[in-house]
Amino acid sequence: MRFKKAIAVTLLTTTLSGFVCPAVIKAETVDKKIENAQKKIDDLTSKKNESDKSLEELNATISKIDSDIDKILSEKALLEKEINELTKEIDELKVIIEKRNKQIENQARSAQINQEDQDLMNIVLDSESISDALSRTVAYTKLVSANKDVMEAQKKDQVALDKKKATLSKKVDEVNKTAEELKTKQETLEQNKATQVALAETILKELSKESGNKSALQSQKEEAERIAEENKKRLKELSEKKEAAKKELEEQRKKEQKEAEEKQLEAQDSISPSKPSSAIGQSNNNQSDEKPNEVVSLPSQGGFALPLAGGYTVTSRFGSRPDPTGYSGSHHDGIDLAIGAGTPILASRAGKVVEASYHPSAGNHVIILHDNGLFTYYMHMTNIRTSVGSVVQAGETIGTVGSTGNSTGAHLHFGISSGLWSGFIDPSSILSF
């Protein structure tokens, strides 16, 4: 009973720690994660602002280029109109020049054929009168002058034609060059814009993700704070229960110690050294077919006797040691005696059985309280051959060696302590093993 109350106090203490520590640690951890998430969000927001600014500048530049392109296109449209007019003029000049060329060719042939008749002297001599001569001379002069004017006009139109062609070619080249440059610049800016847009989308996705993470972490923090608040309330209740259990345990310990001392004195006066008490032979597993326990006389040291008749091997002593199973811990609070399974386990000293049960770590075990206030422990039994409340003698069989509980092979774990499950001392300081 006292052992169970001690376990209850231990569980209460562990529970108190469990209620407070994890919630605090979790809250601190979540706060750190939220802080890291906020840093990432701030960094991504800064990058997003830079990206937005770059996009804004690119869009402004692209808009200006679009405006310039529209302007160039308008100029091109006007130029194309001018080109069409120049082309028309060129075509008309070509027709005029072609006609003049034919006229000049005809006049040249006529002059060549009538060369002798066309001389000014011949014209004068052939005239019938002075008036006729003057008329013919004026006509001849006008004809020569007209031919000369035709030639001059032809040359002038030809020069104008060549100039218009050169101007037209130059304007066409300029428009095409400007349009090509704007097109190249526009394509470059569009590529930069596409890159910036992709970067902005990536940043937005990361920002959304981090914002989601932060929201989730804040929810976790709120949950942790809620749990911490609940634990705080339960902590107060458990603290009160712990104090009550400790008080009750102390009162029970004093009461049981007093009863044990009284019964021990009574047992020493009334129980024969050669016979087991009437309670011995009863086991927790109700094995009614077992034979009555025998008392074996063994040499005692300081009032304690060896718990085995002999033939054992010490495999692990009291104190620090490597954990053999991963669950036992690095401190050994007893001494391990390896021997064949089924070997009788003997009470080391007369006393009262205060625990005879199973535990996941100790396996089938027995604890005896002795008249000097010390406890002896016998663990990993195959069978228990006594029961709680029984008064046993030194050398009396209380069970058999086994490997139950947290054990790696058949052996007896023997321990001595000043308190129930506390204050363990080295058995070798009392007995020689």
Residues 226 and 285 reside in one and the same domain: no
Residue with tokens 């610049």: 185
Assigned token pair, 56: 């804004």
Neighbours of 342 (CB within 10 A): 11
Radius of gyration of the chain (CA): 61
Question: Structural domain tally of the chain?
Answer: 2
Task: Note whether 7 and 156 are same-domain residues.
Answer: yes
pLDDT digits (tens, 9 = 90+) for 416-426: 999 999 999 99
What parts of the chain have a pLDDT lower than 50?
Answer: 3, 7, 20, 116, 268-292
CATH of the domain at 220: 1.10.287
Same domain, 74 and 138: yes
Same domain as 110, residue 34 = yes
Q: Is residue 246 part of a domain?
A: no
pLDDT at 16: 54
Identify the pLDDT of residue 226.
84
Q: Judge whether 266 lies within some domain.
A: no
Question: Taking a C-beta distance cutoff of 8 angstroms, is the pair 414, 377 a contact?
Answer: yes
In terms of domains, do 210 and 280 share one?
A: no
In one-letter notation, the amino acid at residue 80 is E
Q: What residues make up the domain containing 48? A: 2-230
- Indicate whether 416 and 313 sit together in one domain: yes
What CATH number does residue 337 fall under?
A: 2.70.70.10
pTM for this entry: 0.36
Residues 291 and 143 in one domain: no
Q: Tell me the C-alpha distance between 364 and 388, whole Å.
A: 13
Residue 260: inside a domain: no
Q: Which of 171, 198, 230 is the last residue of a domain?
A: 230
Helices 2-113 and 130-270: angle between axes, nearest 10 degrees: 170
Q: Which of 196, 230, 264 is the last residue of a domain?
A: 230
Looking at the domain assignment, is residue 263 inside a domain? Answer: no
Q: CA–CA distance from 22 to each of 14, 225, 358 (Å)?
A: 12, 11, 31
Asked whether residue 386 is assigned to any structural domain, the reply reads yes
Which residues touch 55 (CB under 8 Å, ≥6 apart)? 193, 196, 197, 200
Q: Is residue 237 part of a domain?
A: no
Are 287 and 198 members of one domain?
Answer: no
pLDDT at 413: 98
Q: Which of 230, 261, 288 is the last residue of a domain?
A: 230
The reply to whether 270 falls in a domain is no
Residue 243 in any domain: the answer is no
CA–CA separation, 16 vs 243, rounded Å? 12
> Are 184 and 299 within one domain?
no
Mapped to the 3 state alphabet, what secondary structure does the chain carry?
Answer: CHHHHHHHHHHHHHHHHHHHHHHHHHHHHHHHHHHHHHHHHHHHHHHHHHHHHHHHHHHHHHHHHHHHHHHHHHHHHHHHHHHHHHHHHHHHHHHHHHHHHHHHHHHHHHHHHCCCCCCHHHHHHCCCCHHHHHHHHHHHHHHHHHHHHHHHHHHHHHHHHHHHHHHHHHHHHHHHHHHHHHHHHHHHHHHHHHHHHHHHHHHHHHHHHHHHHHHHHHHHHHHHHHHHHHHHHHHHHHHHHHHHHHHHHHHHHHHHHHHHHHHHHHHHHHCCCCCCCCCCCCCCCCCCCCCCCCECCCCEECCEECCCCCCCEEEECCEECCCCCCCCCCEECCEEEECCCCCEEECCCCEEEEEEEEECCCEEEEEEEECCCCEEEEEEEEEECCCCCCEECCCEEEEEEECCCCCCCCEEEEEEEEECCEEEECHHHCCCC
Residue 155: the pLDDT is 87
Q: Which amino acid is at 384?
A: I
Whether 83 and 6 share a structural domain: yes
Question: Does 98 lie in the same domain as 13?
Answer: yes
Note the pLDDT of residue 109.
Answer: 73
Judgement on whether residues 282 and 219 belong to the same structural domain of the protein: no
Res 284: pLDDT: 39
